[in-house]
Amino acid sequence: MTLGYIHEINRFPQIKFVKFHHLHIVEGSIMGVKYKKNTFKLFTLEEYTDLLCEILPLLRPDIVIQRLFGISDWDLLIAPNWGLNKSNIQNLYGERN
């Protein structure tokens, strides 16, 4: 489904920027209440990274990527807990090269 969205984004020349964001569940949200009652699968960091590696090369080269993920405040985050702060995630794969 996400691959389909990339193809749709590419169809519109007026789109100049995109922001990607994985799903996270936070306290006080309707989804947070639902998740606590009946958990469902969320991306692991590795799964989300794999997805980005698959979709980013498909994006038109003139589109600027403004965000690849988002981080909730630790005290509000229900899931997923990747155990890393924003700086650690930003540097995670760059440190391996």
Q: pLDDT at position 87, please? A: 78
Tell me the pairing of strands 64-67 and 17-19.
parallel
Residue 16 pLDDT exceeds 80 = yes
What pTM did the predictor assign? Answer: 0.81
More confident residue, 92 or 18: 18
- Complete DSSP assignment for 41-61: ----HHHHHHHHHHHGGGS-T
